Amino acid sequence: MMKKQKIFPRGAGILLPVASLPSPYGIGTFGKEAYRWIDFLKESCQQYWQVLPMGPTSYGDSPYQSFSAFAGNPYFIDLETLLEQGLLSRCELTEVSWGDCPERIDYAALYASRFGLLKKAFSRSRHENTKEYIQFCERNDFWLENYAEFMALKMKFAGQSWLQWPQALRLRDANMLRSVRSGLAQEIAFWKFCQFQFDSQWQALRAYAHEKGIGIIGDIPIYAAMDSADTWSEREVFYLNKDGSPIDVAGCPPDAFSATGQLWGNPLYRWDYQEKTHFDWWKRRLSHTAQLYDIVRIDHFRGLAGYYAIPAGEKTAEHGQWRKGPGLAFFEAVRESLGSSKWILEDLGFLTPDVLRLRKAVGAPGMKVLQFAFDSREESDYLPHNYDKNCIVYTGTHDNDTMTGWMKSASKADVAFSKKYLNIRKKKEASWKYNREAYASVASLAIIPIQDFLCLGSEARINTPSTLGENWTWRLKDDALTHELATRIRELTILYSRNSTHQSKTIEG
């Protein structure tokens, strides 16, 4: 039986995706604005910065559909740092378009501009024989070469999914791979350079956060993307046909979010193979994740108890079936791979007895979302008077509207219930009433999206599940992080004893 995780010391943090940071270059990066953000967290008496997955995004721009379960997003590389290294010029940074609106990410403009600049920096770099680069490649040899080859081939075939590549490459014929590697050597080296820069800049930023007493909460999607280096290079790990196409895919059945369910399309794992190999792929993944974050939120935790399988080719998620997951054997096998990092279990939605048993056995905290609490039809586990200490409370997640937006879009009965529960008398104070309730609760950690501290409406929503279009584009205004806001957050944090004196121990594990 695995040793249960200890309850987190009482504390607080703020949720803000890296992509949503302000910057002059179209998207948030690991540049000076990120360091200013950490200073703001310190001033606000926070202990944690929660980010969304940081992998390279694919079609739809979702961080939960990445070209790699290991690689970092090249968009987050700070161009000012490359300028300081002499790899880019100021003129080169200013002569390209980053989009028309600084409060929205224009992914088309990013794609058109960012990689050209990174390739210029790569052509001028002399990193390949440095000790730092050699050690980086050695540390990451279990994924880096496969990822770089995958991206080089993807660019060669105009961004097509690997399922559309010539059969020999799709099935990784050894002779064919040897043949194309020489012709793509520079392109492969470029993608490795991007990962080296990502890792170097992130580790410097994370070290700065630690100096300020700020721990990083990261988010790890349970599933890999179908069009990813992982499924292409390690097909045996996934539930695929011999030609690489998926047999069944992941999703969620019909629920309150969607009448036809959520069809994610990710390939499922061959859990029998994973158990046979002692979960080696997952051990490698979590060991790598532990080098990025101090706390790891396991997205869709219930999929490890039981998962929903939808036949490939279905247009909706209505005709899937539940199957048994690996359960406690998974956690017992991989726990040591996280080192000193800790778990948070994303246990939202309808929880069956097997999920509840698994969560109890693991001992890590689950999540409580205030926005789910105020169902006027029935008592809810998300109401604060029902919490125990071993949970993390959020006003909302990246999949929720902001609290101000929810007040306008939720049913009148639910909003009325929330007003009565929280004694809300004025609309303008509503968002902070929810923030205060989260802080006042017994939950060990309270994590508030920055939008709710800023009282922003639905225009600041990060994602609306089962939709395409405006998701993942919101960005923080450059002047939003004021001293007055930091002071107000700090006062709330101290009032409810969330200025933990144990934060440095938590970060160090």
Instruction: DSSP letter for 309, please.
Output: E
CA–CA dist 30, 460 (Å, integer): 21
CA distance from start to end of the chain: 21
**Segments of the chain scoring below 70 in pLDDT:** 1-3, 256-257, 500-509
Judge whether 390 and 358 are in contact, CB under 8 Å: no
CA atoms within 13 A on the CB side of 90: 0
Q: Residue 267 belongs to what H/E stretch? A: strand 262-267
Q: Token pair 């926070």 is at which residue?
A: 46
Amino acid at 237: V
199 catalytic? Reply is no
In order of their start, the domains of the chain are: 1-213 (3.20.20.80)
299 catalytic? Reply is yes
Interhelix angle 131-139/185-211, nearest 10 degrees: 90
Q: Residue 114 belongs to what H/E stretch? A: helix 107-124
Judge whether 133 and 197 are in contact, CB under 8 Å: no
User: Closest Cα partner for 146 from 77, 235, 247, 249?
Assistant: 235
* Six token digits for residue 313: 């080719």
The confidence score (pLDDT) of residue 470 equals: 86
The confidence score (pLDDT) of residue 326 equals: 97
CA–CA dist 489, 47 (Å, integer): 12
- The sign one gets for the Cα dihedral 36, 39, 44, 47 is positive
Label residue 449 exposed, middle or buried (CB < 10 Å: 0-12, 13-18, 19+).
Answer: buried
Catalytic: which of 294, 299, 401, 437? Answer: 299
CA–CA dist 151, 140 (Å, integer): 16
Q: Residue 171 belongs to what H/E stretch? A: none
Sequence-ordered alpha helix ranges (H) in 184-326? 185-211, 229-233, 271-276, 280-289
Q: How far is CA 222 from CA 82, 195, 286, 303, 346, in A?
A: 33, 22, 11, 8, 10
pLDDT in tens, 65-117: 999 999 999 999 999 999 999 999 999 999 999 988 989 999 999 999 999 99
149 catalytic? Reply is no
Backbone angles phi, psi at 500, to 5 degrees: -60, 135
CA–CA dist 98, 111 (Å, integer): 9
SS3 state at 420: helix
Ranges of beta strands (E only) in 105-245 are: 215-220
SS3 state at 266: strand
Q: Token pair 């990813």 is at which residue?
A: 228
CA–CA dist 388, 368 (Å, integer): 10
Query: pTM higher than 0.85, yes or no?
Result: yes
Judge whether 473 and 105 are in contact, CB under 8 Å: yes
Residues 6 or more apart from 467 whose CB is under 8 A from it?
Answer: none
The confidence score (pLDDT) of residue 29 equals: 98
The confidence score (pLDDT) of residue 76 equals: 98
Catalytic: which of 346, 401, 437, 452? Answer: 346
